[in-house]
Amino acid sequence: MTATRILVLNSGSSSVKYQLLDMATHERLAVGLVERIGEETSRLKHTPLAGGGEAREQNRRIADHAGALKAVADELAADGLGLDSPELAAIGHRVVHGGLKFTEPTIVDDAVLAEIERLIPVAPLHNPANLTGIRTAMELRPDLPQVAVFDTAFHTTMPESAARYAIDVATADAHRVRRYGFHGTSHAYVSRKTAELLGKDPSEVNLIVLHLGNGASASAVRGGECVDTSMGLTPLEGLVMGTRSGDVDPAVIFHLMRVGKMSPDEIDILLNQKSGLIGLCGDNDMREIRRRIDEGDESARLAFDIYIHRLKKYIGAYYAVLGRVDAIAFTAGVGENAAPVREAAVAGLEELGLAVDGELNSVRSDEARIVSPEYARVAVAVVPTDEELEIAQQTYALVGDAGDRNA
């Protein structure tokens, strides 16, 4: 039997998203999500797509990522899609921080595990979860290749002028302080899909990609290569996010230490988990914020305005970096679903060739689409991301031939 299936694990700080795909038939066999890991009641939602099974939900405490992965393995086994299947070719893992070492999908061995571990201080919310995912998967299937696909990989083409901070070079180099960028798998996938939507080859187009999920980042992509991105040493820099501040004057930190008597750890938690939309108005979900704005809530309005102001600044900055822009692509939970965010982000930018068509923009759809009017010089596109598919494809390309070992 030829092994053509790939299981993809996207382990976040408190969630695991997963998909089982068959790369020969291009079929998605199962998808699911474990949320609120470590909280009183966690939720596992599993949807078997092969054979049209019904979605199943568990609401019980799942203490950690290892427990989450074992619960996922049990759900898959209940559908006859267990991890013991000889059809499984590999397990692909999203790993958020790959530093400078990893520019390509990589088969995990002890040295790779050690490097991902070494990078924990610069991705404290993400790399530990990614590591647990890999280690648990290794325990369940020690014979299978485990492939790490790094968020940072797509951004390694950034020129030094964009990747370096203007700080003392010796200090920066000693501590590997530079801009790495994240969400790269999504920026890469969406760049290709946007070029496709425009009927062009990726090498011909200049794009601004706006990945607006709970974490959010912008990137400037010239001819298929990233030339700048908004996240930096860690996924904290740049846009206003669900719970992260994005850009602040770095002196805010010394001020909070000296005058506010806060510790570095307290400030880390403040900026990563208690800031952004949730810090500004108490909600990090854009749906809830829009609902409150409709009811006349002032703090929700201000949070929205701060979010949009920052987004607009990055659109302008990347327009200048690129010189010519063919399209702006909105993606991820907010970018794909929140029409008011897209409308507000380009409002008043007609001089830059940017506008949305009210009617096109308000249509809900899972398809990639253009929402700017025909006359606009720059296309505004909504392009659903699919990090799991991209990880599966990269994983399969790397191990593909090994899949024939049982033939």
Ligand X SMILES: CC(=O)OP(=O)(O)O
Ligand Y SMILES: Nc1ncnc2c1ncn2[C@@H]1O[C@H](COP(=O)(O)OP(=O)(O)O)[C@@H](O)[C@H]1O
- The entry of Mg ion, ligand Y, ligand X, none that residue 287 binds, CB within 5 to 8 Å by partner kind: ligand Y
Using alpha carbons, select from 351, 261, 270, 360 the residue that is nearest to residue 315.
Answer: 351
* 214 carries a ligand binding annotation: yes
Among residues 213 and 232, whose Cβ is nearest to ligand X? 213
Cα separation, 33 vs 15, in Å, equals 7
Among residues 182 and 304, whose Cβ is nearest to ligand X? 182
291 binds ligand Y (CB under 6 A): no
Cα separation, 210 vs 330, in Å, equals 5
Among residues 148 and 339, whose Cβ is nearest to ligand Y? 339
279 binds Mg ion (CB under 5 A): no
Enzyme catalytic residues: 151
Which residue type is seen at 363?
Answer: V
Strand 42-48's sheet: what is its strand order? 56-60, 42-48, 27-35, 16-22, 5-11, 88-95, 146-150, 106-107
238 binds Mg ion (CB under 5 A): no
**Please, where are the H alpha helices in 119-227?**
127-140, 160-163, 169-174, 184-197
Taking contact as CB under 5 A, which single stretch among the options 70-78, 213-221, 290-298, 350-358 is the one that binds Mg ion?
Answer: 213-221
217 binds ligand Y (CB under 6 A): no
Asked whether the beta carbons of 368 and 197 are under 8 A apart, the reply is yes
Which residues from 156-215 bind ligand Y, rule CB under 6 A? 213-215
Beta strand extents in 12-131 (DSSP E only): 16-22, 27-35, 42-48, 56-60, 88-95, 106-107
Minimum distance from residue 10 beta carbon to ligand Y (Å)? 8
Q: Is 187 exposed, middle or buried (0-12, 13-18, 19+ CB in 10 A)?
A: buried
Cα separation, 349 vs 208, in Å, equals 14
Which residues from 249-288 bind ligand Y, rule CB under 6 A? 284-287
What x/- string results for residues 218 through 247 when contact with ligand Y is judged by CB under 6 A?
Answer: ------------------------x-----
Minimum distance from residue 334 beta carbon to ligand Y (Å)? 5
Minimum distance from residue 95 beta carbon to ligand X (Å)? 10
- Footprint of ligand X on this chain (CB under 6 A)? 12, 96, 126, 151, 182-183, 213-215, 235
- Name every residue whose Cβ is closer than 8 Å to that of residue 342 and which is 6 or more positions away in sequence: 330, 335, 356, 361, 371, 380, 382
Contact with Mg ion (CB under 5 A): which of 32, 105, 202, 213? 213
- The entry of ligand Y, ligand X, Mg ion, none that residue 337 binds, CB within 5 to 8 Å by partner kind: ligand Y
Binding site per annotation, positions for Mg(2+) = 10, 387
- Where do contacts with ligand Y occur on this chain (CB under 6 A)? 213-215, 242, 284-287, 332-334, 337-338
